[in-house]
Structure 1
Amino acid sequence: MSVLQSRRILAVVPARGGSKGVLLKNIRALAGRPLIAWTADCIAQIPDIDRAVVSTDDESIAAAAMAAGLSAPFRRPAELSGDRVTDLPVLDHALRAMEALDATRYDVVVMLQPTSPLRLPGDVARTLVRLVEDDLDAVWTVSPTNDKYHPVKQLVLRNGLLDYWTPEGRAMPPRQLLEPVYHVNGIAYALTRSCILDQRSRLGQRTAAVIVEGCAISIDTLDDFAACEAELIRRGQA
Protein backbone atom coordinates (compact mmCIF):
# COMPACT_ATOMS: atom_id res chain seq x y z
CA MET A 1 0.00 0.00 0.00
CA SER A 2 1.28 3.46 -0.87
CA VAL A 3 2.30 5.63 2.09
CA LEU A 4 0.16 8.34 0.51
CA GLN A 5 -3.12 6.43 0.78
CA SER A 6 -3.50 7.50 4.40
CA ARG A 7 -3.30 11.20 3.44
CA ARG A 8 -5.82 13.39 1.70
CA ILE A 9 -3.91 15.39 -0.91
CA LEU A 10 -5.05 18.62 -2.54
CA ALA A 11 -3.30 19.83 -5.69
CA VAL A 12 -3.46 23.59 -6.22
CA VAL A 13 -2.62 25.08 -9.62
CA PRO A 14 -2.10 28.85 -9.16
CA ALA A 15 -2.97 30.74 -12.35
CA ARG A 16 -3.85 34.39 -12.03
CA GLY A 17 -4.93 36.34 -15.06
CA GLY A 18 -2.66 39.36 -14.72
CA SER A 19 0.61 38.06 -16.12
CA LYS A 20 2.69 41.04 -17.25
CA GLY A 21 5.37 39.31 -19.30
CA VAL A 22 3.05 37.30 -21.56
CA LEU A 23 -0.66 38.20 -21.57
CA LEU A 24 -2.82 35.36 -20.19
CA LYS A 25 0.30 33.20 -20.17
CA ASN A 26 -1.39 30.33 -18.34
CA ILE A 27 -3.73 29.61 -21.25
CA ARG A 28 -1.47 30.58 -24.12
CA ALA A 29 -1.04 27.71 -26.59
CA LEU A 30 1.92 25.41 -26.07
CA ALA A 31 2.22 22.74 -28.76
CA GLY A 32 -1.41 23.38 -29.68
CA ARG A 33 -2.87 23.18 -26.17
CA PRO A 34 -3.42 25.72 -23.38
CA LEU A 35 -0.38 25.86 -21.11
CA ILE A 36 -2.41 24.88 -18.06
CA ALA A 37 -3.56 21.66 -19.76
CA TRP A 38 -0.07 20.18 -19.50
CA THR A 39 -0.20 20.44 -15.72
CA ALA A 40 -3.70 18.94 -15.68
CA ASP A 41 -2.40 15.98 -17.70
CA CYS A 42 0.38 15.41 -15.18
CA ILE A 43 -2.04 15.47 -12.24
CA ALA A 44 -4.29 12.92 -13.96
CA GLN A 45 -1.39 10.47 -13.87
CA ILE A 46 -0.94 10.71 -10.08
CA PRO A 47 -3.72 8.62 -8.50
CA ASP A 48 -2.82 9.62 -4.93
CA ILE A 49 -3.99 13.20 -5.53
CA ASP A 50 -7.56 13.36 -4.21
CA ARG A 51 -8.59 16.75 -5.57
CA ALA A 52 -7.07 19.15 -8.10
CA VAL A 53 -8.18 22.77 -8.34
CA VAL A 54 -7.12 25.93 -10.10
CA SER A 55 -6.77 29.13 -8.08
CA THR A 56 -7.56 31.96 -10.47
CA ASP A 57 -9.28 35.32 -10.70
CA ASP A 58 -9.92 34.97 -14.44
CA GLU A 59 -12.96 33.30 -16.02
CA SER A 60 -11.15 32.33 -19.23
CA ILE A 61 -8.45 30.56 -17.22
CA ALA A 62 -11.10 28.83 -15.11
CA ALA A 63 -12.85 27.62 -18.28
CA ALA A 64 -9.61 26.31 -19.81
CA ALA A 65 -8.70 24.59 -16.54
CA MET A 66 -12.07 22.84 -16.33
CA ALA A 67 -11.85 21.78 -19.97
CA ALA A 68 -8.49 20.18 -19.13
CA GLY A 69 -9.91 18.26 -16.17
CA LEU A 70 -9.25 20.55 -13.20
CA SER A 71 -11.90 21.90 -10.85
CA ALA A 72 -12.55 25.62 -10.47
CA PRO A 73 -15.08 25.83 -7.63
CA PHE A 74 -13.96 29.23 -6.30
CA ARG A 75 -12.37 32.44 -7.56
CA ARG A 76 -9.29 34.04 -6.08
CA PRO A 77 -10.14 37.43 -4.56
CA ALA A 78 -8.64 40.60 -6.01
CA GLU A 79 -6.41 41.18 -3.00
CA LEU A 80 -4.66 37.87 -3.73
CA SER A 81 -4.29 38.43 -7.47
CA GLY A 82 -1.62 41.11 -7.71
CA ASP A 83 1.89 40.52 -9.01
CA ARG A 84 3.38 41.08 -5.55
CA VAL A 85 1.26 38.48 -3.78
CA THR A 86 3.31 35.55 -2.51
CA ASP A 87 2.38 31.88 -2.71
CA LEU A 88 1.50 31.36 0.96
CA PRO A 89 -1.72 33.44 1.13
CA VAL A 90 -2.85 31.89 -2.17
CA LEU A 91 -2.36 28.38 -0.80
CA ASP A 92 -3.99 29.32 2.50
CA HIS A 93 -7.04 30.67 0.67
CA ALA A 94 -7.32 27.62 -1.59
CA LEU A 95 -6.95 25.16 1.28
CA ARG A 96 -9.56 26.87 3.46
CA ALA A 97 -11.96 27.25 0.52
CA MET A 98 -11.71 23.58 -0.45
CA GLU A 99 -12.01 22.28 3.09
CA ALA A 100 -15.21 24.32 3.45
CA LEU A 101 -16.60 23.27 0.06
CA ASP A 102 -15.71 19.58 0.43
CA ALA A 103 -16.45 19.40 4.17
CA THR A 104 -13.19 17.55 4.66
CA ARG A 105 -9.67 18.08 5.99
CA TYR A 106 -6.73 17.90 3.58
CA ASP A 107 -3.44 16.69 5.04
CA VAL A 108 -1.15 17.78 2.21
CA VAL A 109 -1.19 20.54 -0.39
CA VAL A 110 0.96 20.25 -3.49
CA MET A 111 1.40 23.40 -5.55
CA LEU A 112 1.92 22.74 -9.25
CA GLN A 113 2.58 25.90 -11.24
CA PRO A 114 1.33 25.75 -14.85
CA THR A 115 4.50 27.51 -15.97
CA SER A 116 6.45 24.25 -15.51
CA PRO A 117 4.84 22.10 -18.23
CA LEU A 118 7.79 19.71 -18.59
CA ARG A 119 7.31 18.14 -15.15
CA LEU A 120 7.03 14.37 -14.90
CA PRO A 121 4.41 12.67 -12.69
CA GLY A 122 7.13 10.59 -11.06
CA ASP A 123 8.93 13.70 -9.77
CA VAL A 124 5.71 15.00 -8.20
CA ALA A 125 5.02 11.60 -6.64
CA ARG A 126 8.56 11.44 -5.23
CA THR A 127 8.02 14.83 -3.63
CA LEU A 128 4.82 13.68 -1.93
CA VAL A 129 6.31 10.39 -0.75
CA ARG A 130 9.35 12.14 0.70
CA LEU A 131 7.11 14.55 2.61
CA VAL A 132 5.09 11.76 4.23
CA GLU A 133 7.79 9.13 4.74
CA ASP A 134 10.22 11.54 6.42
CA ASP A 135 7.52 13.41 8.39
CA LEU A 136 8.60 16.78 6.99
CA ASP A 137 6.89 20.16 6.86
CA ALA A 138 7.59 20.70 3.17
CA VAL A 139 9.47 19.28 0.20
CA TRP A 140 10.48 21.33 -2.84
CA THR A 141 11.82 20.13 -6.15
CA VAL A 142 15.12 21.78 -7.08
CA SER A 143 17.64 21.61 -9.91
CA PRO A 144 21.45 21.70 -9.60
CA THR A 145 22.85 25.16 -10.38
CA ASN A 146 25.63 25.33 -12.95
CA ASP A 147 28.97 26.14 -11.32
CA LYS A 148 29.33 29.33 -13.40
CA TYR A 149 26.27 30.70 -11.58
CA HIS A 150 27.47 29.69 -8.12
CA PRO A 151 26.86 32.50 -5.55
CA VAL A 152 30.59 32.70 -4.80
CA LYS A 153 31.27 33.56 -8.46
CA GLN A 154 28.64 36.30 -8.78
CA LEU A 155 29.61 39.95 -9.19
CA VAL A 156 27.98 43.22 -8.17
CA LEU A 157 28.62 46.91 -8.81
CA ARG A 158 29.19 48.88 -5.61
CA ASN A 159 29.53 52.64 -6.13
CA GLY A 160 30.32 51.90 -9.75
CA LEU A 161 33.14 49.47 -8.95
CA LEU A 162 33.09 45.74 -9.59
CA ASP A 163 33.23 43.41 -6.60
CA TYR A 164 32.31 39.87 -5.70
CA TRP A 165 28.88 39.39 -4.16
CA THR A 166 30.40 37.49 -1.22
CA PRO A 167 33.85 38.03 0.35
CA GLU A 168 34.71 34.40 -0.45
CA GLY A 169 34.65 35.24 -4.14
CA ARG A 170 37.87 37.23 -3.93
CA ALA A 171 39.78 33.99 -3.23
CA MET A 172 38.55 32.69 -6.63
CA PRO A 173 38.17 29.09 -5.40
CA PRO A 174 38.29 26.33 -8.05
CA ARG A 175 34.93 24.83 -8.87
CA GLN A 176 35.98 21.50 -7.36
CA LEU A 177 35.94 23.17 -3.93
CA LEU A 178 32.54 24.81 -4.31
CA GLU A 179 29.66 23.45 -2.27
CA PRO A 180 26.85 22.31 -4.61
CA VAL A 181 23.97 24.76 -4.77
CA TYR A 182 20.46 24.40 -6.16
CA HIS A 183 17.60 26.55 -7.42
CA VAL A 184 13.86 26.02 -7.33
CA ASN A 185 12.44 24.81 -10.64
CA GLY A 186 8.69 25.18 -10.06
CA ILE A 187 7.96 21.49 -10.65
CA ALA A 188 6.38 20.81 -7.24
CA TYR A 189 6.06 22.23 -3.76
CA ALA A 190 4.49 19.83 -1.25
CA LEU A 191 3.45 21.21 2.14
CA THR A 192 1.59 19.86 5.13
CA ARG A 193 -1.62 21.49 6.29
CA SER A 194 0.16 22.57 9.47
CA CYS A 195 2.97 24.22 7.52
CA ILE A 196 0.45 26.46 5.76
CA LEU A 197 -2.08 27.16 8.49
CA ASP A 198 -0.01 26.98 11.69
CA GLN A 199 3.59 27.76 10.75
CA ARG A 200 2.42 30.29 8.16
CA SER A 201 5.32 29.37 5.92
CA ARG A 202 6.00 27.89 2.51
CA LEU A 203 9.38 26.69 3.71
CA GLY A 204 8.53 25.28 7.12
CA GLN A 205 10.90 24.32 9.91
CA ARG A 206 11.87 21.00 8.33
CA THR A 207 12.02 21.17 4.55
CA ALA A 208 13.82 18.75 2.25
CA ALA A 209 14.45 18.64 -1.48
CA VAL A 210 13.86 16.30 -4.37
CA ILE A 211 16.64 16.93 -6.87
CA VAL A 212 15.49 16.82 -10.49
CA GLU A 213 18.13 16.42 -13.17
CA GLY A 214 17.62 17.35 -16.80
CA CYS A 215 15.46 19.93 -18.54
CA ALA A 216 13.20 21.97 -16.23
CA ILE A 217 12.04 25.19 -17.89
CA SER A 218 9.90 27.67 -15.96
CA ILE A 219 8.04 29.80 -18.50
CA ASP A 220 8.28 33.59 -18.21
CA THR A 221 8.83 34.71 -21.82
CA LEU A 222 7.93 33.82 -25.40
CA ASP A 223 11.42 32.37 -25.78
CA ASP A 224 10.62 30.01 -22.89
CA PHE A 225 7.49 28.88 -24.75
CA ALA A 226 9.61 28.09 -27.80
CA ALA A 227 12.17 26.19 -25.72
CA CYS A 228 9.45 24.15 -24.01
CA GLU A 229 7.81 23.29 -27.31
CA ALA A 230 11.15 22.13 -28.71
CA GLU A 231 11.66 19.89 -25.67
CA LEU A 232 8.14 18.44 -25.97
CA ILE A 233 8.83 17.65 -29.63
CA ARG A 234 12.13 16.01 -28.64
CA ARG A 235 10.25 13.86 -26.13
CA GLY A 236 7.63 12.91 -28.70
CA GLN A 237 4.85 14.63 -26.74
CA ALA A 238 4.01 17.21 -29.40
Structure 2
Amino acid sequence: MKKIAIIPARGGSKRIPHKNIKYFFGKPIIAYAIEVALKSGLYDEVMVSTDSEEIAEVAREYGAKVPFIRSADNSNDFATTVDVLIEVLDWYKDMDLQFDFATCIYACAPFVNAKVLHDSFEMLIKENCDCVFPILAYSHPIQRALKLSDIGKIATFDDSNSNARTQDLDKAFHDAGMFYTFDVKKLKVNKSLRTQDTFAIEIDELHAHDIDTENDWVLAELKYKLFSNEII
Protein backbone atom coordinates (compact mmCIF):
# COMPACT_ATOMS: atom_id res chain seq x y z
CA MET A 1 0.00 0.00 0.00
CA LYS A 2 1.61 3.23 -1.16
CA LYS A 3 1.04 6.40 0.84
CA ILE A 4 1.65 10.06 0.16
CA ALA A 5 1.62 13.12 2.41
CA ILE A 6 0.34 16.23 0.61
CA ILE A 7 0.96 19.61 2.24
CA PRO A 8 -1.04 22.42 0.57
CA ALA A 9 0.68 25.79 0.91
CA ARG A 10 -0.69 28.62 -1.18
CA GLY A 11 1.35 31.80 -1.38
CA GLY A 12 -1.41 34.39 -1.11
CA SER A 13 -2.32 34.58 2.57
CA LYS A 14 -4.29 37.75 3.31
CA ARG A 15 -4.92 37.71 7.08
CA ILE A 16 -1.37 36.63 8.01
CA PRO A 17 1.15 37.72 5.33
CA HIS A 18 3.50 34.90 4.23
CA LYS A 19 1.69 32.69 6.74
CA ASN A 20 2.96 29.34 5.50
CA ILE A 21 6.63 30.27 5.83
CA LYS A 22 6.38 32.70 8.74
CA TYR A 23 8.78 31.73 11.52
CA PHE A 24 7.28 29.78 14.41
CA PHE A 25 9.78 29.05 17.20
CA GLY A 26 12.85 29.35 15.04
CA LYS A 27 11.79 27.88 11.72
CA PRO A 28 9.15 28.35 9.01
CA ILE A 29 5.86 26.94 10.24
CA ILE A 30 5.54 24.66 7.20
CA ALA A 31 8.69 22.87 8.38
CA TYR A 32 6.72 21.24 11.21
CA ALA A 33 4.31 19.53 8.82
CA ILE A 34 7.14 18.37 6.57
CA GLU A 35 9.28 17.07 9.41
CA VAL A 36 6.50 15.13 11.15
CA ALA A 37 5.48 13.50 7.87
CA LEU A 38 9.07 12.44 7.17
CA LYS A 39 9.80 11.28 10.71
CA SER A 40 6.56 9.30 10.97
CA GLY A 41 7.89 6.71 8.50
CA LEU A 42 4.40 6.35 7.04
CA TYR A 43 4.83 7.85 3.60
CA ASP A 44 6.48 6.85 0.36
CA GLU A 45 6.35 10.48 -0.73
CA VAL A 46 6.12 13.78 1.14
CA MET A 47 5.29 16.69 -1.13
CA VAL A 48 4.18 20.31 -0.98
CA SER A 49 1.60 21.72 -3.38
CA THR A 50 2.22 25.44 -3.83
CA ASP A 51 1.94 28.27 -6.34
CA SER A 52 4.89 30.07 -4.77
CA GLU A 53 8.53 29.57 -5.73
CA GLU A 54 9.53 31.03 -2.35
CA ILE A 55 7.48 28.42 -0.48
CA ALA A 56 8.78 25.70 -2.81
CA GLU A 57 12.36 26.63 -1.95
CA VAL A 58 11.67 26.47 1.79
CA ALA A 59 9.82 23.16 1.42
CA ARG A 60 12.73 21.56 -0.42
CA GLU A 61 15.15 22.88 2.19
CA TYR A 62 13.28 20.89 4.86
CA GLY A 63 13.09 17.70 2.81
CA ALA A 64 9.78 17.80 0.95
CA LYS A 65 9.42 17.33 -2.78
CA VAL A 66 7.84 20.02 -4.94
CA PRO A 67 7.62 18.29 -8.31
CA PHE A 68 5.43 20.94 -9.93
CA ILE A 69 4.00 24.40 -9.28
CA ARG A 70 0.28 24.43 -8.59
CA SER A 71 -1.95 25.59 -11.44
CA ALA A 72 -3.53 29.05 -11.43
CA ASP A 73 -7.00 27.49 -11.33
CA ASN A 74 -6.21 25.86 -7.99
CA SER A 75 -4.42 28.86 -6.52
CA ASN A 76 -7.32 31.31 -6.26
CA ASP A 77 -9.70 31.99 -3.37
CA PHE A 78 -12.33 29.62 -4.77
CA ALA A 79 -10.20 26.49 -5.10
CA THR A 80 -10.98 23.85 -2.47
CA THR A 81 -8.65 21.50 -0.65
CA VAL A 82 -10.14 18.63 -2.65
CA ASP A 83 -9.37 20.43 -5.93
CA VAL A 84 -5.74 20.72 -4.84
CA LEU A 85 -5.51 17.10 -3.72
CA ILE A 86 -6.98 15.75 -6.95
CA GLU A 87 -4.60 17.89 -9.00
CA VAL A 88 -1.66 16.38 -7.09
CA LEU A 89 -2.90 12.81 -7.36
CA ASP A 90 -3.64 13.19 -11.08
CA TRP A 91 -0.16 14.64 -11.67
CA TYR A 92 1.45 11.61 -10.02
CA LYS A 93 -0.82 9.28 -11.98
CA ASP A 94 0.42 10.87 -15.20
CA MET A 95 3.94 10.12 -13.95
CA ASP A 96 2.92 6.45 -13.43
CA LEU A 97 2.90 6.85 -9.66
CA GLN A 98 -0.33 5.94 -7.93
CA PHE A 99 -1.08 5.94 -4.22
CA ASP A 100 -3.60 3.95 -2.23
CA PHE A 101 -3.82 6.26 0.78
CA ALA A 102 -2.89 9.84 1.54
CA THR A 103 -2.77 12.44 4.27
CA CYS A 104 -3.39 16.09 3.62
CA ILE A 105 -1.45 17.93 6.34
CA TYR A 106 -2.06 21.64 6.56
CA ALA A 107 1.04 23.82 6.41
CA CYS A 108 0.17 25.72 9.60
CA ALA A 109 -0.32 22.71 11.86
CA PRO A 110 2.70 22.54 14.19
CA PHE A 111 0.84 20.40 16.74
CA VAL A 112 0.52 17.34 14.48
CA ASN A 113 2.54 14.44 15.83
CA ALA A 114 3.51 11.04 14.48
CA LYS A 115 1.27 9.14 16.89
CA VAL A 116 -1.95 10.78 15.75
CA LEU A 117 -0.97 10.23 12.11
CA HIS A 118 -0.41 6.53 12.82
CA ASP A 119 -3.70 6.41 14.73
CA SER A 120 -5.54 7.89 11.77
CA PHE A 121 -4.23 5.18 9.44
CA GLU A 122 -5.11 2.46 11.93
CA MET A 123 -8.68 3.75 12.09
CA LEU A 124 -8.92 4.18 8.31
CA ILE A 125 -7.89 0.56 7.71
CA LYS A 126 -9.83 -0.93 10.64
CA GLU A 127 -13.09 0.81 9.76
CA ASN A 128 -12.57 0.65 5.99
CA CYS A 129 -13.86 4.21 5.88
CA ASP A 130 -13.39 7.09 3.46
CA CYS A 131 -11.50 9.54 5.66
CA VAL A 132 -10.29 10.19 9.22
CA PHE A 133 -9.49 13.58 10.73
CA PRO A 134 -8.94 15.10 14.19
CA ILE A 135 -11.69 17.05 15.95
CA LEU A 136 -11.98 19.29 19.00
CA ALA A 137 -14.93 19.62 21.34
CA TYR A 138 -16.55 23.03 21.69
CA SER A 139 -15.83 24.39 25.15
CA HIS A 140 -19.47 25.41 25.65
CA PRO A 141 -22.64 23.73 24.31
CA ILE A 142 -23.44 25.16 20.88
CA GLN A 143 -27.15 24.57 21.57
CA ARG A 144 -26.99 27.58 23.91
CA ALA A 145 -25.18 29.87 21.49
CA LEU A 146 -26.08 33.56 21.45
CA LYS A 147 -26.24 36.08 18.63
CA LEU A 148 -25.74 39.82 18.79
CA SER A 149 -27.71 42.44 16.88
CA ASP A 150 -26.22 45.57 15.33
CA ILE A 151 -27.25 47.59 18.39
CA GLY A 152 -25.81 45.07 20.87
CA LYS A 153 -28.99 43.22 21.81
CA ILE A 154 -28.60 39.55 22.73
CA ALA A 155 -30.82 36.76 21.38
CA THR A 156 -30.59 32.97 21.33
CA PHE A 157 -30.30 30.86 18.20
CA ASP A 158 -32.64 28.28 19.73
CA ASP A 159 -34.87 29.15 22.70
CA SER A 160 -35.72 25.50 23.34
CA ASN A 161 -32.38 24.91 25.06
CA SER A 162 -32.22 28.11 27.13
CA ASN A 163 -33.09 26.36 30.37
CA ALA A 164 -31.40 23.02 29.68
CA ARG A 165 -28.52 21.93 31.89
CA THR A 166 -25.23 21.94 30.00
CA GLN A 167 -24.55 18.33 31.04
CA ASP A 168 -27.79 17.23 29.38
CA LEU A 169 -26.89 18.63 25.96
CA ASP A 170 -25.08 16.63 23.30
CA LYS A 171 -21.37 17.29 22.98
CA ALA A 172 -20.48 19.11 19.76
CA PHE A 173 -17.21 19.15 17.82
CA HIS A 174 -15.38 21.07 15.13
CA ASP A 175 -12.56 20.28 12.71
CA ALA A 176 -9.18 20.77 14.38
CA GLY A 177 -7.74 22.12 11.13
CA MET A 178 -4.72 19.82 11.16
CA PHE A 179 -4.96 16.97 8.64
CA TYR A 180 -7.12 14.47 6.75
CA THR A 181 -6.09 10.86 6.14
CA PHE A 182 -8.07 9.30 3.31
CA ASP A 183 -8.56 6.54 0.79
CA VAL A 184 -7.45 7.92 -2.58
CA LYS A 185 -9.94 5.98 -4.73
CA LYS A 186 -12.83 7.00 -2.51
CA LEU A 187 -11.81 10.66 -2.59
CA LYS A 188 -11.81 10.62 -6.38
CA VAL A 189 -15.30 9.11 -6.42
CA ASN A 190 -16.80 11.25 -3.65
CA LYS A 191 -15.01 14.51 -4.49
CA SER A 192 -15.22 15.24 -0.77
CA LEU A 193 -13.24 14.54 2.39
CA ARG A 194 -16.33 14.51 4.57
CA THR A 195 -18.77 11.80 3.61
CA GLN A 196 -21.33 9.59 5.33
CA ASP A 197 -18.44 7.23 6.06
CA THR A 198 -15.93 9.62 7.64
CA PHE A 199 -14.50 8.97 11.12
CA ALA A 200 -12.77 11.27 13.58
CA ILE A 201 -10.21 11.24 16.37
CA GLU A 202 -10.96 13.53 19.31
CA ILE A 203 -7.91 15.41 20.52
CA ASP A 204 -7.17 17.67 23.48
CA GLU A 205 -7.68 21.38 22.78
CA LEU A 206 -4.42 22.15 24.60
CA HIS A 207 -2.53 20.22 21.92
CA ALA A 208 -4.10 21.82 18.85
CA HIS A 209 -4.87 25.27 17.53
CA ASP A 210 -6.29 26.34 14.18
CA ILE A 211 -4.31 29.36 12.98
CA ASP A 212 -6.32 31.82 10.88
CA THR A 213 -5.60 35.21 12.46
CA GLU A 214 -2.73 37.02 14.19
CA ASN A 215 -4.41 36.34 17.56
CA ASP A 216 -4.58 32.62 16.69
CA TRP A 217 -0.85 32.71 15.97
CA VAL A 218 -0.04 34.21 19.38
CA LEU A 219 -2.21 31.66 21.20
CA ALA A 220 -0.68 28.80 19.20
CA GLU A 221 2.80 29.94 20.23
CA LEU A 222 1.78 30.00 23.88
CA LYS A 223 0.38 26.47 23.67
CA TYR A 224 3.37 25.17 21.76
CA LYS A 225 5.78 26.68 24.29
CA LEU A 226 3.96 24.82 27.07
CA PHE A 227 3.66 21.45 25.34
CA SER A 228 6.42 21.28 22.72
CA ASN A 229 8.23 18.55 24.66
CA GLU A 230 5.19 16.31 24.13
CA ILE A 231 4.98 16.91 20.36
CA ILE A 232 7.29 14.42 18.69
Structure 1 residues 154 and 235: CA distance shift in structure 2, 3 A: closer
For residue 214 of structure 2, what is the aligned residue in structure 1?
Answer: 222
Residue among 116, 121, 145 paired with 1:123: 116
Quote the offset at 1:123 in angstroms.
0.9
Whether 1:51 and 2:45 are equivalent positions in the alignment is: yes
Whether 1:84 and 2:87 are equivalent positions in the alignment is: no
Quote the offset at 1:86 in angstroms.
1.6
Q: Deviations over 1:120-179 (max 9, x none)?
A: 1111111111111110011111011112xx22111235797643223533x431111011
For residue 131 of structure 2, what is the aligned residue in structure 1?
Answer: 138
Residue among 11, 14, 27 paired with 2:5: 11
Residue among 156, 163, 178 paired with 2:147: 156
Q: TM-score, length-normalised on structure 1?
A: 0.88
Structure 1 residues 145 and 43: CA distance shift in structure 2, 3 A: same
Whether 1:72 and 2:66 are equivalent positions in the alignment is: yes
Aligned counterparts of 2:82 and 2:120: Cα–Cα separation in 1: 18
For residue 42 of structure 1, what is the aligned residue in structure 2?
Answer: 36
Q: Deviations over 1:171-224 (max 9, x none)?
A: 431111011111111222111112221111111230111111132112222333
Equivalent AA in structure 2 for residue 74 of structure 1: F
> Does the 8 Å CA contact 1:139/1:210 hold for their aligned counterparts?
yes
Aligned counterparts of 1:75 and 1:179: Cα–Cα separation in 2: 44
Aligned counterparts of 2:179 and 2:52: Cα–Cα separation in 1: 23
> Which runs of structure 1 show a deviation greater than 4 angstroms over 4 or more consecutive aligned residues?
157-162
Aligned counterparts of 2:200 and 2:227: Cα–Cα separation in 1: 25
Structure 1 residues 18 and 132: CA distance shift in structure 2, 3 A: same
Q: Give the superposed CA RMSD.
A: 2.0
Q: Structure 2, unaligned stretches of length 5 or more?
A: none
Quote the offset at 1:40 in angstroms.
1.0
> Does the 8 Å CA contact 1:156/1:162 hold for their aligned counterparts?
yes
Q: Structure 1, unaligned stretches of length 5 or more?
A: 1-6
Aligned counterparts of 1:201 and 1:236: Cα–Cα separation in 2: 32
Aligned counterparts of 1:215 and 1:10: Cα–Cα separation in 2: 24
Q: Which SS does the other structure have where 2:94 is aligned?
A: helix
> Does the 8 Å CA contact 1:35/1:115 hold for their aligned counterparts?
yes
Identity, % of aligned positions:
25
Q: Which SS does the other structure have where 1:186 is aligned?
A: coil
Aligned counterparts of 2:79 and 2:64: Cα–Cα separation in 1: 23
> Does the 8 Å CA contact 1:115/1:219 hold for their aligned counterparts?
yes
For residue 56 of structure 2, what is the aligned residue in structure 1?
Answer: 62
